[in-house]
Structure 1
Amino acid sequence: MKEIFAVLLLIHVCGRLSTTPPPAEVVYEWVSIDYDWPNNTTKPSTFSSGKYIRENNIIAGVKVYKDDVYVTVPRWREGVPSSLNRVIVKNGKPILQPFPDWKSHTVGDCDALQYVHSMEVDPKRGWMWIIDIGRLDILPGGTPRNLCPPKILVYDINTASYVKRYVFPASVASPATNFLNDIVLDVINDKPTYAYITDTSFNDPGLVVYNFQHNTSHRFSHKSMGPEPEGRSITINNVTYAMAAPMDGIALSPDSKYVYYCALAAYSLFQVPTNVVRNPSADFASAVKNVGKKVSPADGLAYGQKNLFFGALDRNAVYKWRIDADAKAQHGYANVQMKTQTPVVSDNARMEWVDTFAFDEHGYLWFTANRLQPFFQNTMNFSDSNSTPNVRIWKVYVGEKGYLHHADKADPSIIG
């Protein structure tokens, strides 16, 4: 009997341990970015012509759909052959497969994708909402090429077809200065209705709103979208860098009631009701609220079902604001203040510059760590002799899905 009890206890313990989520893990990593070239001659010819410059390719955005991982490679500098890609593995190494195909990334073809910084995927429909800046080589100090007007494209991954294309008017997103950066989707009554997009333009930062049903757009600008004095420098692993980037990260609450946003060179996080953002004639300024200061400047934001996640740049970490808990303690979301910020995961050596986020169907939060600070200063080591990865894609179990999984909405008992 003792032996049987011991076996049953072992089975019970092992079963329990087997369901324990693993720690944060690196799913993919690169010293330099390479592509799934169509044939053996394309890469050498593209390299020799300057259309592929290894040192100018870095991964920024990430999204996950049906276990496929999609990433963006911003055309910050020349020599980026494909700006939106799916990660595949060949010969044991991760490479990028242009998405939807190579032709879709032809430079100068305004029907194609010119510069994709971010995208979002509706998990129910499999629609990818792609924002195309239309401008190339836009890093400060360079000579921008304003080849095409900015646009948004909705692509059905399952049917491999476009649902809609929309070109932004110059009054909403300037073809000469826009930097359409990050995007969230507002699905109302099970219908995709709005996209909210940050414009990180140094000339005029703003919040761009696209109405899918009416195929119209409008824009808001506000002083909260600019950098803050205390955010204009950041120290990463004992090296201090100057920052001036405005409006960047954006998140949407799972009940679709509030948009949250922040500038990159800032600590403050702001909240504005979606019923204001949806109305082009609304008094945006009077509706904006400062909900508190993050522990660190952050690039991307991501709202799950109960927590708002962000990258703590000067801590080489991912943090979460336990907004659901704070809202309960403070009697609602309408006037919630950021009190409970806790670390999710950190790694000084391998999580420099946590950039963008994605959720999968299994309770994991995915994110890129791309060391943008040496990339921007042209000091990143891409040589074949370098064995230390420059870019990593991580995932960590957080036990919640993303804001677009409306079946798992936040606690409806909370007022606000």
Structure 2
Amino acid sequence: MWKLSFLLVIGLLEIQAAVDEIFAWNELSFDWPNNEIKDEAIKSGQYVPENNLPLGLDRWKDKLFVTVPRWKAGIAASLNFLPLNSPINKTSSLIPYPSWKANTLPESGQTPEENQIVSTFRVKVDACDRLWVMDTGLADILGEGKQVSPQAILVFDLKTDKLIRRYNLKPTDYKEDSFFANIVVDVSADKCDEAFAYLPDLGAYSLVVYSWSENDSWRVKHNFFHFDPLKGDFNVGGVNFQWTDGVFGLALGPQQETGFRTLYFHPLASTREFSVSTQVLKNKTVATDPHSYYLFKIEGNRGDLTQASASDFDEKSNVLFLTQLNRDGVACWNPKKPLNPQNLDLVVQDNQTLIFTNDIKIDSDRNLWILSDKMPAFLYKGLNPSEVNYRIFKANIDELIKNTGCSA
């Protein structure tokens, strides 16, 4: 028995050794223009430090983008970046992107600027050096819930930091309960004008497809987008809660000979994974036709306590990575194998530092970035400012999946 325990400990140490903690904060700090402006923001209630929770991330070159949704009042800036130039300060201050002005809520009666970012949950860097931002336009979500601007996709040129397109979602794209907290982009570097974006609607159980070339969008409905009523119970970091979030995590597989990809997706309150060819989604007529129901596939069931928020796909290893909310970690699965509990490997786990792995992203160097933020405690009971509450990790993918079933 002692030998088994020893081997388990050694295995866990090997897993943890593959992951580096890059940033860690008790509370987020921001790169204010000066202390006077910061003090005035605190005094007026425009900045309430304990209300700022990091949620999404992605990397482009020496910038690590970090989102801070406006869950509550007093959010300094919703879209930010952290410099990755050496040496890195673990408690670095977030720098608003593309500027402070673009992240400042307009005064009552003012029209928002074209590049205004009200509240974003997740962003995506594409192969064409563009940053795609899904802006909910909603401030003080848990409070008054004010719709400051339309729900919109904003696309920035990362080489110039200029907004190159803003697309407001059409009224036919959303319902009363709609909530857009994620975005993935389907594009290749040699065909930048043929990009598509996929936006899961976790509240109204649908998927919105946006075409860059047509500058148009359409809403796709399917039963697989709904939550599983038997999988909505969560226990994370000592907090018990129930959610009904539908389709949430999206990840694109490799481009096939046909030119299309497989979109893997799952509701947050579910342990099943589904898929559909982007050939279906990119064709507005087919995607919105009820007869396309059978073109969507069930990949399998990951097993108990495997509810996931975010996911991302590494094309070189052909591995899908998924956050594991109830298990304080990240798991992997190789689609060459059937999806079942035996073929889902937990590649990193820690019940202290990885409480609520909210987002993961794979960068161009094949590093997996992981953001954990104790969000259930933030939402339901409050965080302890004397403890580290928010962390960002980086791990080499090949090291993570070594000696797991995912590497086969």
Distance across 2 between alignment mates of 1:53 and 1:374: 17
Matched, 1:399 2:401: no
> Given residue 242 of structure 1, which amino acid in structure 2 is its aligned partner?
Q
1:221 aligns with 221
Matched, 1:300 2:339: no
SS in 2 for 1:117: strand
Tell me which structure has the larger Cα radius of gyration: 1
Structure 1's 307 and 35: CA in aligned 2 closer, same or farther, altered over 3 A?
same
1:312-336: CA deviations, max 9, x gaps? 111111100112x32xxxxxxxxx6
* Aligned pair partner of 1:99 in 73, 97, 100: 97
Q: How many residues align?
A: 362
1:289 aligns with 297
Distance across 1 between alignment mates of 2:23 and 2:207: 32
Distance across 2 between alignment mates of 1:101 and 1:238: 37
- By how many angstroms is 1:86 displaced? 0.6
1:95-121: CA deviations, max 9, x gaps? 100001001112142521111111111
Distance across 2 between alignment mates of 1:244 and 1:399: 34
Distance across 2 between alignment mates of 1:138 and 1:279: 34
- By how many angstroms is 1:158 displaced? 0.8
* Aligned pair partner of 1:57 in 49, 52, 61: 52
* Aligned pair partner of 2:265 in 246, 254, 261: 261
1:247 aligns with 247
SS in 2 for 1:76: coil
1:254-308: CA deviations, max 9, x gaps? 2142111111111111111111111222244222211112240011011111100
1:309 aligns with 321
SS in 1 for 2:351: coil
- By how many angstroms is 1:177 displaced? 4.3
Distance across 2 between alignment mates of 1:137 and 1:246: 22
Residues 366-385 of structure 1: pairs in structure 2 closer than 5 A: 366-382=369-385
**TM-score (norm. length: structure 1):** 0.82
Distance across 2 between alignment mates of 1:231 and 1:247: 13
1:195 aligns with 197
- By how many angstroms is 1:205 displaced? 2.2
> Given residue 391 of structure 2, which amino acid in structure 1 is its aligned partner?
R
2:137 aligns with 134
Contact 2:205 2:226 in 1 (8 A): yes
1:8 aligns with none
Matched, 1:40 2:50: no
Distance across 1 between alignment mates of 2:354 and 2:220: 33
Distance across 1 between alignment mates of 2:280 and 2:224: 16
2:9 aligns with none
- By how many angstroms is 1:90 displaced? 9.0
> Given residue 97 of structure 1, which amino acid in structure 2 is its aligned partner?
I
Contact 2:321 2:331 in 1 (8 A): yes
Structure 1's 252 and 56: CA in aligned 2 closer, same or farther, altered over 3 A?
same
1:85 aligns with 80
Contact 2:330 2:347 in 1 (8 A): yes
Contact 1:150 1:173 in 2 (8 A): no
> Given residue 98 of structure 1, which amino acid in structure 2 is its aligned partner?
P
* Aligned-residue RMSD, C-alpha: 2.3
- By how many angstroms is 1:337 displaced? 4.4
> Structure 1: which 5+ runs fail to align?
1-20, 327-335, 402-416
2:62 aligns with 67
- What is the percentage of aligned positions where both structures have the same residue? 29
> Structure 2: which 5+ runs fail to align?
1-15, 107-111, 401-408
1:322 aligns with 334
Contact 2:21 2:392 in 1 (8 A): yes
